[in-house]
A and B are shown apart, each in its own frame.
Chain A
Amino acid sequence: MDKLLLLGDEAIAQAALDAGLSGVYAYPGTPSTEITEYIQNSQKNKADTIHCRWSSNEKTAMEAALGMSFAGKRAMVCMKHVGVNVCADAFINSAVTGIVGGLVFVAADDPSMHSSQNEQDSRFYGNFAMIPILEPSNQQEAYDMVYGAFELSERCGVPVMLRITTRLAHSRSGVSRREVKPQNALHYSSDPKQFVLLPAIARINYNKLLAAQKEYLNYSEESIFNKYTDGSDKSRAIIASGIGYNYLMENYPQGCPFPVLKVGQYPLPEKTLRKMATECKELVIVEEGYPMIEDQLKGLLGMGLTVRGKKDGFLPRVGELNPDIVGRAFGFDLPETPELPEVVKNRPPSLCVGCGHRDMYEALNVAVAEKGEDSKVFGDIGCYTLGYLPPYKAINSCVDMGASITMAKGAADAGLKYGVAVIGDSTFTHSGMTSLLDAINEDAPITVIISDNETTGMTGGQDSAGTGKIEAICLGLGVDPEHLKVLVPLKKNHDEMVETIRREMDYRGLSVIIPRRECIQTATRKAKSKKN
């Protein structure tokens, strides 16, 4: 049978489907979005047997998945690395409650921050929660790991994390499928108190989790995903995890002379590591992300083994790895290559021509300019973050989902006279509603602009949880109807928009302005598919 050509994300999705998945829960986030989209596409012409609608945010996704697991069925949660921050409470405690139906938690990291605010390493969260972590090096491995991960989760009694990075998530290669398993039947824990984390019960669960660490370590030591290849040159031993392994082997096409441990399952397999540390002069760690394995092996004082990696400059501390960086580190002479011609200029992303955010920013900038230093604009995460770039240069902050409103409120508390928050509709329902509630309860003198394009735009136009409900949500939270304005962001409405924003900025209480126009990309796609 021809192999399927699948992105790393798609391999994960197909594996989950083949392993008896009953539900996927997720919020769009690069580089994880395609996992859920693949599952949604697979369900298009079928009866609704697998849950695959987008959640409002990663926390609700995690909790719903835990609920499905509580009911005995297999569930998967997917998010980008910063999404783990959003669901951390549910995530950490899901290891304390434990699970019933297998639960696979996919964290897709973005080293080099191609599309993110930072490059945090989700393996830390897996360690922090004390659950097994799987980290594939290629698309077939991603499939094989997820295919077996639900059963591993059920055996361990806790969620299992699968950690991938951008270059695997968004890279395509041939994948062979395995036999399709049926979904689990609805069934519950034999222990009725398992999921009730009152202190008396939580203490029992916590001790159980601690005791289980030995079991997880045994699984790692027997795991086919931790592969040791001996080498005759014992001057160093190399430990390479995830796609770091690929870059190492790219530089040693005839095979590596040093002993190599390819790490694909955590906790780290201590027995093999101990053997390598005993036999070799130094350990070299090639890992994508933070120097996590490096720190674990070196320890705080570094007074034992010689461990080389990102902290001693062997590899760069910042940014993703690639074959050149790893080759240079291992002393390979790289070929002479031509310089980047001076004529090549940066081509940064920009708001699409015809985007409603453009009209919003043009009007906002006029109103804000009138206030000079007394006005600051707090931005949020979405296509409209591009409003920072020329020609708009409209925003002064972008930190995390929903922060625009709450930061504006905090700055107003400090005395900022004309604070403005710019947030998208999906970001608003993701984490802006509670921020708005705080601002309403104290009648903060800020102007909240919910720039509604009726989609989750930057990630490719997924459904937005609050479409059609934004006004009702605002009124329900307590926004004064006199200071809730809806506008249509078009050039012809520019003067009206400026006047509305100016008036609401002058108003010494909370205002919400909703410029609403469908995203030009989703509108075009809908029109095209109607035609076809």
Chain B
Amino acid sequence: MKTDIILSGVGGQGILSIAAVIGEAAVHRNLYMKQAEVHGMSQRGGDVQSNLRISDQPIHSDLIAKGKADLILSLEPMEALRYLPYLSKEGWIVTNSTPFNNIPNYPEASDLQKALDSVPNKVILDIDSIAKDLGSTRVSNIVMLGAATPFIGIGYAEIENGIRRIFGKKGEDIVNMNLKALAAGKAVADSHMKL
């Protein structure tokens, strides 16, 4: 198996926490994994991304080549589109719908939607409202992860275990909240795929 994932968003949105859970699950399954990220300058409200590669064979490049990404997992809609040239023909985009408007020339919502409409395989969801309904906006990242689970290539139960291992130190309540968030996100993806 191999899954090449591009995670994207705006500096500070927390894409790296998502990558950490997937990475943890992958390593526990003895899969090969490489996860490249940006530090420094890009984090000051600029766009950020991480290349996350999982495989049952040794992985060479830390970076994903154009047209080879199986999944773009994004916390921001414009940032999802930024990596379109990397998406494979059969690849999926799973993105948050809420724009992060911190530049003077941020595009109109309708133009963003039009561009997203042209992508055949996608799941768009409002992670912040879903998280709010669950009772904690802090888990919106994990809602996003839940929505992406059908496309990662690692079993749902293994990702749940990854969450238990990573958040375990913070106590049972936090673990459970994150598991709920994961399930809520997955439910959105499942209902979309049934269409």
B71 at the interface (CB under 8 A from A): no
Residues of B within 8 A of A345 (CB): 78, 103, 105-107
Out of B40, B51, B59, name the residue touching A31 (CB < 8 Å): B40
A340-379 vs B, Cβ < 8 Å mask (1 yes, 0 no): 1101111111111000000000000000000000000000
From known contacts A172-B35, A349-B42, infer whether A2 and B61 are also in contact, taking CB-CB under 8 Å. Answer: no
Stretch in A60-68, A125-133, A298-306, A331-339 with 4+ CB within 8 Å of B: A331-339
| Docked-complex contact B35 and A340, CB < 8 angstroms | no
Q: How far is the CA of A339 from the CA of B118 in the complex (A)?
A: 12
| Docked-complex contact B44 and A386, CB < 8 angstroms | yes
B122 at the interface (CB under 8 A from A): no
Out of B27, B34, B60, B87, name the residue touching A338 (CB < 8 Å): B87
B10 at the interface (CB under 8 A from A): yes
Q: How far is the CA of A135 from the CA of B38 in the complex (A)?
A: 21
Looking at A172, A327, A348, A349, which has the most chain B CB atoms within 10 Å of its CB? A172
| Docked-complex contact A347 and B65, CB < 8 angstroms | no
Looking at B63, B64, B68, which has the most chain A CB atoms within 10 Å of its CB? B63
Q: Nearest chain B CB to A426's CB is how many angstroms away?
A: 14
| Docked-complex contact B28 and A174, CB < 8 angstroms | no
Residues of A within 8 A of B190 (CB): none
A250-271 vs B, Cβ < 8 Å mask (1 yes, 0 no): 1000000000000000000000
| Docked-complex contact A347 and B37, CB < 8 angstroms | no
The residue on B at minimum CB distance from A336 is: B67
Out of B10, B39, B82, name the residue touching A34 (CB < 8 Å): B39
| Docked-complex contact A168 and B62, CB < 8 angstroms | yes
Within 8 A of A (CB), among B44-84: 44-47, 51, 59-68, 78-79, 81-82, 84
B23 at the interface (CB under 8 A from A): yes
Q: How far is the CA of A341 from the CA of B87 in the complex (A)?
A: 13
From known contacts A323-B65, A335-B66, A352-B44, infer whether A344 and B35 are also in contact, taking CB-CB under 8 Å. Answer: no
In which size bucket is the chain B interface? 35 or more
A383 at the interface (CB under 8 A from B): yes
A311-340 vs B, Cβ < 8 Å mask (1 yes, 0 no): 000000000001110010000001111111
A167 at the interface (CB under 8 A from B): yes
| Docked-complex contact B102 and A170, CB < 8 angstroms | no
B111 at the interface (CB under 8 A from A): yes
Q: How far is the CA of A230 from the CA of B132 in the complex (A)?
A: 59
Looking at B41, B43, B62, B105, which has the most chain A CB atoms within 10 Å of its CB? B62
Out of A174, A243, A247, A335, name the residue touching B27 (CB < 8 Å): A174
| Docked-complex contact B81 and A174, CB < 8 angstroms | no
Out of A2, A243, A347, A352, name the residue touching B62 (CB < 8 Å): A243
Q: How far is the CA of A337 from the CA of B78 in the complex (A)?
A: 18
Residues of B within 8 A of A343 (CB): 78, 81, 107, 111-112, 114-115
| Docked-complex contact B86 and A170, CB < 8 angstroms | no
| Docked-complex contact A172 and B23, CB < 8 angstroms | yes
Q: How far is the CA of A249 from the CA of B61 in the complex (A)?
A: 8
A22 at the interface (CB under 8 A from B): no
Residues of A within 8 A of B102 (CB): 347, 350
| Docked-complex contact A31 and B43, CB < 8 angstroms | no
Out of B10, B66, B88, B89, name the residue touching A324 (CB < 8 Å): B66
B99-132 vs A, Cβ < 8 Å mask (1 yes, 0 no): 0001111110001101100100000000000000
Q: Chain A: interface secondary structure? A: loop
Residues of A within 8 A of B81 (CB): 340-341, 343-344
Residues of B within 8 A of A323 (CB): 61, 63-65
Q: Nearest chain B CB to A235's CB is how many angstroms away?
A: 23
Within 8 A of B (CB), among A244-292: 245-247, 249-250
| Docked-complex contact A170 and B38, CB < 8 angstroms | yes
Residues of A within 8 A of B51 (CB): 171
| Docked-complex contact A30 and B34, CB < 8 angstroms | no
B142-183 vs A, Cβ < 8 Å mask (1 yes, 0 no): 000000000000000000000000000000000000000000
Out of B59, B88, B104, name the residue touching A335 (CB < 8 Å): B88
Residues of B within 8 A of A390 (CB): 104
Q: Nearest chain A CB to B158's CB is how many angstroms away?
A: 14
| Docked-complex contact B46 and A350, CB < 8 angstroms | yes
Residues of B within 8 A of A174 (CB): 27, 32-33
Q: Nearest chain A CB to B75's CB is how many angstroms away?
A: 13
B135 at the interface (CB under 8 A from A): no
The residue on B at minimum CB distance from A137 is: B60
Residues of A within 8 A of B64 (CB): 323
From known contacts A5-B27, A30-B39, A345-B106, infer whether A322 and B65 are also in contact, taking CB-CB under 8 Å. Answer: yes
Q: Nearest chain B CB to A343's CB is how many angstroms away?
A: 5
A114 at the interface (CB under 8 A from B): yes
| Docked-complex contact A337 and B86, CB < 8 angstroms | yes
The residue on A at minimum CB distance from B68 is: A335
From known contacts A115-B41, A247-B61, A345-B106, infer whether A173 and B33 are also in contact, taking CB-CB under 8 Å. Answer: yes
From known contacts A33-B39, A114-B38, A341-B81, infer whether A347 and B46 are also in contact, taking CB-CB under 8 Å. Answer: yes
A3 at the interface (CB under 8 A from B): yes
From known contacts A167-B36, A246-B62, A345-B105, infer whether A339 and B85 are also in contact, taking CB-CB under 8 Å. Answer: yes
Looking at A33, A167, A339, which has the most chain B CB atoms within 10 Å of its CB? A167
| Docked-complex contact A458 and B84, CB < 8 angstroms | no
B11 at the interface (CB under 8 A from A): yes
A459 at the interface (CB under 8 A from B): yes
Q: How far is the CA of A341 from the CA of B82 in the complex (A)?
A: 7
| Docked-complex contact B115 and A341, CB < 8 angstroms | yes
Q: How far is the CA of A33 from the CA of B79 in the complex (A)?
A: 27
Q: How far is the CA of A339 from the CA of B35 in the complex (A)?
A: 25
Q: How far is the CA of A460 from the CA of B44 in the complex (A)?
A: 10
The residue on B at minimum CB distance from A347 is: B47
Q: How far is the CA of A323 from the CA of B66 in the complex (A)?
A: 8
Q: What are 5 contact pairs spanning A and B, CB under 8 A? A: A31-B39, A114-B42, A337-B67, A345-B106, A458-B44
- Beyond A173-B62, A327-B65, A334-B67, list 19 extra A-B contacts (CB 8 Å): A5-B33, A5-B35, A30-B40, A115-B40, A115-B42, A167-B36, A167-B63, A168-B62, A172-B35, A173-B33, A245-B60, A339-B85, A344-B78, A346-B103, A347-B46, A347-B103, A349-B41, A390-B104, A458-B40
Q: Which A residues lie at the B interface, using CB under 8 A?
A: 2-3, 5, 30-31, 33-34, 114-115, 167-168, 170-174, 243, 245-247, 249-250, 322-324, 327, 334-341, 343-352, 383, 386, 390, 458-460
Q: Kindly list the 8 A-B residue pairs having the minimum CB-CB distance in the complex, ordered from nearest.
A: A335-B67, A30-B40, A349-B46, A349-B44, A115-B40, A171-B36, A171-B62, A250-B61
Q: Which B residues lie at the A interface, using CB under 8 A?
A: 10-11, 23-24, 27-28, 32-47, 51, 59-68, 78-79, 81-82, 84-89, 102-107, 111-112, 114-115, 118
